[in-house]
Structure 1
């Protein structure tokens, strides 16, 4: 059961997002002495079939379009008139037999009211409507979305429609401005991200409480998905669930089609579960690590507490103006110090940092922006280069923190054969390893602890609420309620 229920979704959220973009774009045009007219023009997502079949995959809206319009249906277009500020949706003109197979054909007034826009027309009217609405001289100007996603290295798809050649097109101005709008979250956005965190946190606790030796990894995934959908109305996950146990915990993106969460849980395994639900496009991204039998060994506690100390150190240090690269280095240092204290490493931590030893145990970045996408865009501003050093080059952002950012804090410590072997063979790093201790951890897998954190005016707030301390995890797995009575968090 759950004490939560899906909150209503205020479409005012998307009206706020449109006003935010309009203000930013107008400031940009004013500074560059460009006229304040033309149209922001976006194309929504299109339904996809499974290869050549008629099986339609479950649709999820394109993220930039979702941000501005909140439309859940496919095949839409959206427009913001820069001069008047009015918003226009263009809906597909559906065939009559749609009503037989797929349900009622909605009137245009339904979409106007539901999505809080000024006007709604059909897609085949785009050309005529925009020419009618245009108040400037010459050809109407369309600001199209085209730019690089620095996480995926893919480019966003600019809108296209029949008759677009009759319009002037700007392919460069919109993307960086709209991306930066998405970086800072409004209070209405934060409410949805918080709910996604609340239901996902609750689902993680349910999985933790019901994990047993002998289960399959996919059963843990199934429990999470059931709880977040059954009680949270979250039909989509933010990403493919990672349910790694034992040595699979060292596979950073485990859970894909070739490694489909199908190992049997064995006594003595650590579990690393990275799962997050999505509610009205807005996501969560949470990782819990725990022993599948409910009791930490001394070795498991050593690695787990090294990562937990790194997680807590970063959260304590976060505030506006703090550089994210420095936070990554802080996490690395705390983990290396813990591994040295546990006699897994020997030598000076400062020297380990110089030789980038932290990247052997944590090759991924510390965290990423979170919002409508799990890896929300905006991590690298135009002209800012990604760091080149091991570990640091995997950072999805190198920015200074700003109030209103939501970012994941996800340090990890993994025993990855390929990286360990290379580092132990390299003269500059081989001296740091206690080889006997390393051999003890060869098939350990890994530990990751991940929370979603909002940067506040003078610090930050952790939006995730799951057991983190060793004692908390063992108590919950033994049947204690969560939050623990008389516990402080």
Structure 2
């Protein structure tokens, strides 16, 4: 049985979402004033809908649409939400449930229950949207709806604007809301930070529990199950922030391992490195943590070399992070530290500055250094209007190129991987072949990779690491041998 947690799940004040609405309203009103537009109309969002598994009646576990969750905190499907720009009043529209809902799914709550639970000004039913908004509007013509529509630069998908019967009776603005609401999500409040911290605390505990239970001969999915059990049993985390990556051996070089075609199903072998990227979500807010360690509990010299290269990069970035620092510079810093360590370990040779010019770092770390974290694992806002993604290996994978600001939460996740599909062409290229010690590189065939990932809050004077996992080799080996964590 997993070790019990000392972390009681915190209560979530609905004031958090009320404050989020206030924050949006302030920014939106400021924008409308600066663009000489009247302060009237409604922010109008549609919440998520329940989905069935293909054509069956099996209903998949519902998780609220993230922008709607940010503003209203509603757990149930089928809701709409509005904010009156003129008055600041908030309105929820709940689905009108059939009588037999009470038989199969439980009590049908009155609207007053939702009003109190979610701290909104009013609650009506979804079939009343047209009448209510027309009545509340202070204009004679069609009321204006600010709808959510914009590009998510991580997925390249567009958010879906609200739809309902009678929407043709309203004017629609599809461009104003998305960038303003997205920017609100980038900078976290203290209440948001408290939830992200709890998600980190319980996930850090679960990672430690996985370290303690890891044994040669186990299956990867068994270790995934230990993580899921701990975060749910002791943290009340019904959702994970993303699909667990439980990679060992050569699988640890597969950056997004764990998907349906690679379902965490390898048997752990003596001498393997494990790369476990797993994070729990609590009350919509998530964590994203990666730990790497030898499955037998003892680092070899080669494992130590690669692990410390990544750890040094991880620590160098966190030491340099503060408001005003460029995230592109942090990515390049991580690459440089890893290349210097690989050179000192006689895996590569030559001038590190020349390697940086030739983008050699992207051969070993093809992904970006990190991403915003919040209600989504890859929280939006990485690219402000006018910012374009950089060109070139590694840099084109950056999920943001912004300067750091106080209140951001961003992952720091450098890695070093031995990926044949990247190494082979680099070792044949006239620009980069000279940097490789081929005999040394051959030692790492099948090694996989190492990633170390922490969630970091940018503060006024620097940053705070919210993740509390063993990181030093001595700490990991001690925990895997049975020592308590934190170490005495």
Which residue number in structure 1 is paired with residue 116 of structure 2? 113
Give yes or no for the alignment of 1:476 onto 2:479. Answer: yes
Which residue number in structure 2 is paired with residue 68 of structure 1? 71
Structure 1 position 59, deviation (Å): 0.1
Which residue number in structure 1 is paired with residue 162 of structure 2? 159
Q: Which range is displaced more, 128-137 or 307-316?
A: 128-137
Give yes or no for the alignment of 1:262 onto 2:271. Answer: no
Could you tell me the TM-score, scaled by structure 1's length? 0.99
Which residue number in structure 2 is paired with residue 383 of structure 1? 386
3-state secondary structure, aligned to 2:435: coil
Structure 1 position 5, deviation (Å): 1.2
1:417 paired residue among 400, 420, 429: 420
CA distance in 1, matches of 2:127, 2:327: 47
Structure 1 position 180, deviation (Å): 0.2
Structure 1 position 73, deviation (Å): 0.0
Q: What are the Cα deviations for residues 382-431 of structure 1, in whole angstroms up to 9, with x where unaligned?
A: 11000011101000000000000000000000000000001001011000
1:279-318 equivalences in 2 (<5 Å): 279-318=282-321
3-state secondary structure, aligned to 1:427: coil
Q: How many residues align?
A: 485
CA distance in 1, matches of 2:445, 2:402: 35
CA distance in 1, matches of 2:453, 2:123: 42
Q: What are the Cα deviations for residues 428-480 of structure 1, in whole angstroms up to 9, with x where unaligned?
A: 10000000010000100000000000000010000000000000000000000
CA distance in 2, matches of 1:71, 1:394: 33
CA distance in 2, matches of 1:36, 1:407: 34
CA distance in 2, matches of 1:377, 1:442: 36
Which residue number in structure 1 is paired with residue 126 of structure 2? 123
Which residue number in structure 2 is paired with residue 401 of structure 1? 404
Could you tell me the TM-score, scaled by structure 2's length? 0.99
3-state secondary structure, aligned to 1:113: helix
1:8-407 equivalences in 2 (<5 Å): 8-407=11-410
Which ranges of structure 1 fall in alignment gaps of 5 or more residues?
Answer: none
CA distance in 1, matches of 2:113, 2:438: 68
Which ranges of structure 2 fall in alignment gaps of 5 or more residues?
Answer: none
Structure 1 position 123, deviation (Å): 0.2
Q: What are the Cα deviations for residues 111-150 of structure 1, in whole angstroms up to 9, with x where unaligned?
A: 0000000000000000000000001231100000000001
CA distance in 2, matches of 1:10, 1:410: 31
Q: What are the Cα deviations for residues 51-106 of structure 1, in whole angstroms up to 9, with x where unaligned?
A: 00000000000000000000000000000000000000000000000000000000
Q: What are the Cα deviations for residues 15-57 of structure 1, in whole angstroms up to 9, with x where unaligned?
A: 0000000000000000000000000000000000000000000
CA distance in 2, matches of 1:437, 1:307: 18
CA distance in 2, matches of 1:339, 1:161: 58
Which residue number in structure 1 is paired with residue 430 of structure 2? 427
3-state secondary structure, aligned to 1:90: strand
CA distance in 2, matches of 1:10, 1:437: 55
Q: Which range is displaced more, 262-271 or 132-141?
A: 132-141
CA distance in 2, matches of 1:427, 1:206: 47
CA distance in 2, matches of 1:10, 1:422: 54
Please, what is the CA RMSD of the aligned residues?
A: 0.3
